[in-house]
Structure formats: C-alpha cells, structure tokens
Amino acid sequence: MNLETVIFLGIVILLLIIFALVIYSEYIRKHFEPVPSKDKIFRCSKCDFVYTDDPDVDRSRCPHCGTGNPSVKF
C-alpha cells in the first residue's frame, strides 16, 4: 500500500467513528431526556403564584389563595 491510500483509509475510518458516536449520542439523548409535560400553566391574578394543572382544565383554583384563574397562553 502506498502512503496516500493509508492516509485516505485513516481519514475515512476516523470519520466513520465520529459519525457512529454522533448517532449513538442522539439515541441516548432521545431515550433519557425528560418528556415535556402536557399540563397547562396558570398564574394567579391575586397572589401571582405560578402553578400547573391537568391539560383538560380551562380554569383552575390557585392552591395558595383559592382564586379561579384562566390558563396562561404563550
């Protein structure tokens, strides 16, 4: 084998290893990242407490002061 072939094969093998590590790290990230919550976010109009409630609730009572509040829209 000549020197150019050895260098070319070395670079190809190195790029394949890097590609495999990127694929593996994405696989690990997707399987161990926390799943976003479907809960709605509420902010109390009386005491400014921010809390969450079930996704099927349109209005929720504040756990601190009991005031009914609509969900926050982003």
Q: What is the pLDDT of residue 33?
A: 82
Residue pair 46/67 in contact by the 8 Å Cβ criterion: yes
Q: What is the pLDDT of residue 9?
A: 97
Residue pair 67/44 in contact by the 8 Å Cβ criterion: yes
The tens digit of pLDDT for each residue in 20-63 reads: 999 999 999 888 888 888 889 999 999 999 999 988 988 999 99
Q: In terms of domains, do 44 and 26 share one?
A: no
Residue 74 has pLDDT above 80, yes or no: no
Q: In terms of domains, do 23 and 47 share one?
A: no
Q: What is the pLDDT of residue 73?
A: 81
Residue pair 37/52 in contact by the 8 Å Cβ criterion: yes
Q: How far apart are CA 14 and CA 49, in angstroms?
A: 53
Q: What is the pLDDT of residue 71?
A: 87
Q: How far apart are CA 48 and CA 44, in angstroms?
A: 5
Number of domains in the chain: 2
Structure tokens of 6? 């050895």
What range defines the domain where residue 66 resides?
A: 40-70
Q: In terms of domains, do 48 and 25 share one?
A: no
Q: In terms of domains, do 18 and 45 share one?
A: no
